[in-house]
A = this chain, B = another copy of it.
């Protein structure tokens, strides 16, 4: 998914520190690389590298990124992981000026665009969509930057949110369907753009509104201006943002992510009621849904699985034989909560099913009497073409097995997924405005 930030403050030459805070808040959107580009009226400087925000930046390096305008980016791991060239912001010169650009999303017509650009004499130094966007701007016939951006948007198909830093301004765009989220915040002395509103909280700012589908926002010393390109009739905001990606303290399209998830938990109970002793959750993203389920069902919530906060993404595993026994490295069941109890186990999604299966086994090992699995998203049955890495369709368990077959496979006593209608309802919608392609195989554009 990636996360992007743009900041303009009239008289604060230390906006890189704000961007750093904002990227900490967006870290959940991408852990592959991080970068900040800053403009100090004379030149654009950029620091980016593989790793977490906390790996890439130091007090000293942020001090050297002086300027009152900047971009930030955290990268989600879809592309070749080791290639440092793919880190963003992407920096370049074109006929307009020097630029830095950061993007979250994915072009559907990227391969065709690439072929066309090469044929027309362009060279490309990365395999990224953001460079294609940059080339389109550079080749535009107009000498007005906003027109050039608007021209490029006409050629591109797909999901995207892009921030552009020039020597004079920050420009932010959101795709005409609004698939990816992008929000505008107010700071003490300026404005900020962020994939999610939680970044404004950490920066001491506040959310004003979402960037609209198809909108181009311009921020400079004159304040904030908006240009609406032709937008699509419909919106198609990614439902998976609400289900899984976004941070619960963010608001998207005026909706609290936390509240939407809690509501999904409530609806989930109504759709799949069960009699049990305790509601537990696979930490952390399913917690609001589990609390909603508990509230609606009056079944008490408890911490049934202890997460080891020190286990990182790469972990040295012991021998194969030990692994097969189901060593409880990241999650340890709480015997005193689980033993002899009828358990409701809530999670936000089942993609391949192996984690759920292992956890159920571990819960049985400490004496769970019954295990009822409740999932706060519908069955994931199709690939995403807009930037979510949902493995191949043949690996999606719900694409191969029926719900009851899944139940047997993972070893649950019962299994219920929220319905697509239930999910719409949790989003205050009667059935439109969201892309639910991964659940329904119906996409808002040809893919």
Residues on A close to B: CB < 8 A? Answer: 14, 17-18, 20-21, 24-25, 27-28, 52-54, 57-59, 62, 84-85, 90-95, 114, 118-119, 121-125, 131, 134-135, 137-140, 198, 201-204, 247-249, 256, 258-259, 284, 287-288, 291, 295, 300-303, 306, 308-312, 315-316, 318-319, 322, 325-329, 332-337
Residues of B with C-beta under 8 A to A258: 303, 334, 336-337
A100 to chain B, nearest CB (A): 11
CB within 8 A of A256: which of B328, B333, B335?
B335
Whether A303 contacts B329 by the Cβ 8 Å rule is no
Beta-carbon contact of B123 and A312 below 8 Å: no
> In the complex this chain forms, how many copies of it are found?
4
B21 touches A318 (CB 8 A): yes
A345 to chain B, nearest CB (A): 17
* A-side interface mostly: mixed
* 25 pairs from A and B in contact (CB 8 Å cutoff): A17-B319, A21-B329, A24-B311, A27-B310, A54-B310, A58-B316, A84-B84, A91-B125, A93-B114, A93-B124, A94-B121, A94-B124, A95-B119, A95-B121, A121-B139, A122-B138, A125-B125, A201-B328, A202-B308, A202-B329, A249-B334, A256-B334, A256-B335, A287-B303, A291-B302
A52, B310: Cβ atoms closer than 8 Å = yes
Q: Which residues of chain B are near A62, meaning CB under 8 Å?
A: 316
Contacts of A57 in B (CB 8 A): 316
For A95, list chain B residues within 8 Å (CB). 118-119, 121
Q: Are B325 and A309 in contact (CB under 8 A)?
A: no
A125, A284, A303: residue with the most chain B Cβ atoms closer than 10 Å = A125
Whether A122 contacts B125 by the Cβ 8 Å rule is: no
In Å, the complex CA distance between A198 and B288 comes to: 27
Q: How far is the CA of A334 from the CA of B198 in the complex (A)?
A: 10
A302 to B325, CA, bound (A): 35
A-B pairs with the 5 shortest C-beta distances?
A256-B336, A17-B318, A121-B139, A27-B310, A123-B138
Q: A21-B327, A201-B332, A203-B327 are in contact. List 9 more A-B contacts (CB 8 A).
A: A18-B318, A25-B332, A58-B316, A62-B316, A85-B91, A123-B137, A204-B327, A249-B306, A284-B309
